[in-house]
């Protein structure tokens, strides 16, 4: 069935360093890939997303790259700050159901810790 694998499960970096989180998906029909940030005790919040007709998207210190051939996408955070510490989830759309609409399949999350 549909599956999204996310690595690493934990990531510790020094403030100012870069952080990279990688995800692979199984369904070649997936065409939408959002990334969510969830701080402790809070709701997941969308930080960036990419659609399959684009290979890379950037928003200030955050960028996402997509390789449709290899079925993997990555989140890149540059110049990390302590407030970037949170759990990050990737997700991939998975069409199906009687109306062939998408559901989001989430990765298992990456706990990012940024040390001052």
Partner 1 sequence: KAGVTQTPRYLIKTRGQQVTLSCSPISGHRSVSWYQQTPGQGLQFLFEYFSETQRNKGNFPGRFSGRQFSNSRSEMNVSTLELGDSALYLCASSPQVQETQYFGPGTRLLVL
Task: List contacts with partner 1 (CB under 8 A).
Answer: 1, 32, 34, 36, 42-46, 49, 89, 91, 93, 96-99, 101-109
Contacts of 1 (CB under 8 A, 6+ apart): 26
**Structure tokens belonging to residue 21:** 């989180």
- Minimum Å gap between C-beta 38 and partner 1 is 9
The pair phi, psi for residue 82, each rounded to 5°, is -55, -35
In the complex with partner 1, the residue whose CB is nearer, 99 or 116, is 99
- Minimum Å gap between C-beta 46 and partner 1 is 6
In the complex with partner 1, the residue whose CB is nearer, 28 or 108, is 108
Tell me the C-alpha distance between 12 and 18, whole Å: 10
* Residue bearing tokens 């890149």: 76
- Minimum Å gap between C-beta 14 and partner 1 is 27
In the complex with partner 1, the residue whose CB is nearer, 98 or 116, is 98
**Structure tokens belonging to residue 47:** 């930080």
* Residue bearing tokens 């701080």: 39
In the complex with partner 1, the residue whose CB is nearer, 73 or 89, is 89
């Amino acid at each position: 069935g549909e599956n999204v694998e996310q690595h690493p499960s934990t990531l510790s970096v020094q403030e100012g360093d870069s952080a990279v989180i990688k995800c692979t998906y199984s369904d070649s029909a997936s065409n939408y890939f959002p990334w969510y940030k969830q701080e402790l005790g809070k709701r997941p919040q969308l930080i960036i997303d990419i659609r399959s007709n684009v290979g890379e998207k950037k928003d200030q210190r955050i960028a996402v790259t997509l390789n449709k051939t290899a079925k993997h996408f990555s989140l890149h955070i540059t110049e990390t700050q302590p407030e970037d510490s949170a759990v990050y989830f990737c997700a991939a759309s998975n069409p199906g159901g009687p109306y062939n609409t998408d559901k989001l399949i989430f990765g298992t999350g990456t706990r990012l810790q940024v040390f001052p």
